[in-house]
Every structure is written in C-alpha cells, then in structure tokens.
Homo-oligomer: A and B are copies of this chain.
Amino acid sequence: MTRVRNPQLNKNGELIHLLSLERLPSEIVTHILDTATNFVSVNDREVKKVPLLRGKSVFNLFFENSTRTRTTFDIAAKRLSADVFTLDIGRSSTSKGETLLDTVDNLSAMAADLFVVRHSQSGAPYLIAQHVAPHVHVVNAGDGWHSHPTQGLLDMYTIRHYKKDFSNLVVAIVGDVLHSRVARSDIHALKVLGCPEVRVVGPRTLAPAGFESMGTRVFDNLQEGIKGADVVIMLRLQNERMSGALLPSREEYFKTFGLTPEKLRWAKPDAIVMHPGPINRGVEIDSAVADGPQAVILSQVSFGIAVRMAVMAIVAGNSA
C-alpha cells in the first residue's frame, strides 16, 4: 500500500478503474461528464444502443444486494452492447469458502473485461483492482460507508446540467451524512470541481465535526444549513438506523429535517432538490417537494445511466 501512483490511473494518467472520487483529477471528472452528455442523447434515441463494448464481458459482483444500483449498471452495460453476467454471490462459491480474490481470479480466467463491484466492506474494490490483470477494469458500485463514485458523478452531472458552473455554488447535503457513501463521494467531487461552499446538515449525532476537516461547514439546524443554497441534496434516512439511539422518531425527524415546501423557501428561489433515491416520502422529504418543480430527482436517475455508460466506456478504452 506504499505505492504513490493513484491506482485508478495508468502511467499516462488515464482512468483504468473507478474506485473513488477522492484524488481524481478534475480533468478526468470533467471528461467523464462530457462523455456522458453523448450518452444522454443515446438514451433518447429510438435505438438506445452503441457498439462500444460489443463482445466484452461485464460481471456484476454484488456482494451486497442492491437491485436498484445493479439494474442501472446492467442497463448501462447492455446499451454499450456488452454481455452482462450477474453473480448472486451469496449463493455462489464464496459461500463454499472460496476467497474474494479466488473468485475474481476465476472470473478473470473466463476472460472478464470489467467488474462492477458492490461490497459492504470499504476498500474491497481497491483490493480487487490491485489484483486483476492489466486488461481488466474495476468500477466501484458502492463499498461500505466509503464511496459510491458513480452516484457522486451523476450528482455532479445533474448540478452542472442545471447550474452550468460550480464556481459560485452553495451546496447543502442534508441528513445522515455520517453513514452516507453518497455524501462522501459528493463532497470529494464538489471539491475537485471547485465548488466553494459545501455544507453538511443533520443531527449532531449523524454529521459530526469530523466532516469539517473535509472542507465542509457543518450545521445541525436545517434553516441555517440550507439558507441561500443553490443545491439541496437530501439523503435517504435508513430505516435500520432508527432502531439505534442515534435518532428520534421518524415523525420527529421529519419535523426537524424533513424538507417541506415551506422549509425549501429558505434556500435560493431557483434551488434544485436532489436525492439519491429511493425516497422515503414523509420522512426526509415531503411529497410536495419530491413531486414539485424544484425536484430533479428523476433527472438524476436518467443522467445516472449515461454517466455509468461513460465510466465503463472510458475505462474499457484504456489499459494499465
């Protein structure tokens, strides 16, 4: 782990894996977003298919179940004309005691080109990327609380689409920031793209002061936190958190941090409201906001397919 070079880049500085937005050069982030623009138009066409990954084998390795995220990668890969193989890891050989890297070695020997990896443990995609042969690529689809880079990228795409430029933006991320890989990925990407003010907003128990060291301002009051914001990113409240002592009841949470049309007026009049989905109506977000004119939540979903197509097309085109 003493290597200095970013394991996501080859020696020419080209993207070969997407593991985290941390330490990713802004030119690469911008290149991904620019490439995604082309794929947005592909998804609007009658024939939503380009031959860029034709004859390539993409493996979805979901060690942690997420039908929603897996489907987005499945769609993106098939629209690039790849052959897609989804492994239900819980039922495969890993349950027979095969190690993670043995599984990866076996699939690589079957001539895999790209692994999409979701794992409950932070760093698993890094471990795989360091292990695979030079022609194999790894895309992180979420690892533990650490990172969810394609979500971060699609959020950046969405912000750029609606706000054009990051250089004067105030972006507020609201909710359970502590447990959110989305929040971490967004913060890294916003910093890389030059966003001057990123705020995290939530109960003190869920947005601890440590986030200040990431260059964000921390608020435990929603009004102060979203005041004057151009972009409000609402995070999903995980039901499983509610059982612990970290949070009051759902009703109490909604009263304090749930975004209603009234509270949204604290942000700028043209502020956009984002959410990684799936939304909890009446918990972190009111239906009047989720279905209202400032919400861009479904645009995020659309752009997400294009961004994932861009990431896969770019890494598959470079070699280690």
Contact with B along A88-103 (1 / 0, CB 8 A): 1001110011110011
A299 at the interface (CB under 8 A from B): yes
Q: A68: which B residues are within 8 A, CB to CB?
A: 92-93, 106
Cross-chain contact A279 with B67 (CB below 8 angstroms): no
Closest Cβ of chain B to A82, distance in Å, is 10
Cross-chain contact A85 with B91 (CB below 8 angstroms): no
Q: Which residue of B lies closest to A277 (CB)?
A: B106
| Complex partner residue of A301 from B44, B45, B109, B304, CB under 8 angstroms | B109
Cross-chain contact B55 with A111 (CB below 8 angstroms): no
A155 at the interface (CB under 8 A from B): no
* Residues 64 to 117 of chain A near chain B (Cβ within 8 Å): 65, 67-68, 71-72, 74-75, 78-79, 83, 85, 87-88, 91-93, 96-99, 102-103, 105-111
Q: A304: which B residues are within 8 A, CB to CB?
A: 110
Number of interface residues of A (CB under 8 A): 52
Cross-chain contact B65 with A54 (CB below 8 angstroms): no
| Complex partner residue of A109 from B55, B106, B239, B299, CB under 8 angstroms | B299
Q: A98: which B residues are within 8 A, CB to CB?
A: 277-279
Q: Which residue of B lies closest to A88 (CB)?
A: B67
Cross-chain contact B71 with A85 (CB below 8 angstroms): yes
| Complex partner residue of A93 from B67, B239, B305, CB under 8 angstroms | B67
Q: A122: which B residues are within 8 A, CB to CB?
A: none
Tell me the bound Cα distance from A85 to B304 in angstroms. Answer: 17
Q: A302: which B residues are within 8 A, CB to CB?
A: 109-111
Q: A85: which B residues are within 8 A, CB to CB?
A: 71, 74-75, 78
Tell me the bound Cα distance from A80 to B99 in angstroms. Answer: 30
Cross-chain contact B110 with A301 (CB below 8 angstroms): yes
Tell me the bound Cα distance from A43 to B83 in angstroms. Answer: 13
Tell me the bound Cα distance from A299 to B149 in angstroms. Answer: 34
A1 at the interface (CB under 8 A from B): no
Closest Cβ of chain B to A250, distance in Å, is 11
A146 at the interface (CB under 8 A from B): no
Cross-chain contact B44 with A55 (CB below 8 angstroms): no
* Residues 192 to 249 of chain A near chain B (Cβ within 8 Å): 239
Closest Cβ of chain B to A306, distance in Å, is 10
A8 at the interface (CB under 8 A from B): no
A239 and B67 contact, Cβ closer than 8 Å, known pairs A57-B48, A110-B302, A301-B106: no
Cross-chain contact B111 with A92 (CB below 8 angstroms): no
Q: Which residue of B lies closest to A99 (CB)?
A: B281
Q: A56: which B residues are within 8 A, CB to CB?
A: 47-48
Cross-chain contact A71 with B49 (CB below 8 angstroms): no
Cross-chain contact A83 with B91 (CB below 8 angstroms): no
The 13 listed contacts between A and B (C-beta, < 8 Å) are A44-B111, A48-B56, A49-B55, A57-B79, A65-B91, A71-B110, A75-B110, A78-B85, A93-B278, A97-B280, A105-B298, A106-B278, A110-B302
Chain A interface residues (CB < 8 Å from chain B): 43-49, 54-57, 65, 67-68, 71-72, 74-75, 78-79, 83, 85, 87-88, 91-93, 96-99, 102-103, 105-111, 239, 277-281, 298-299, 301-302, 304-305
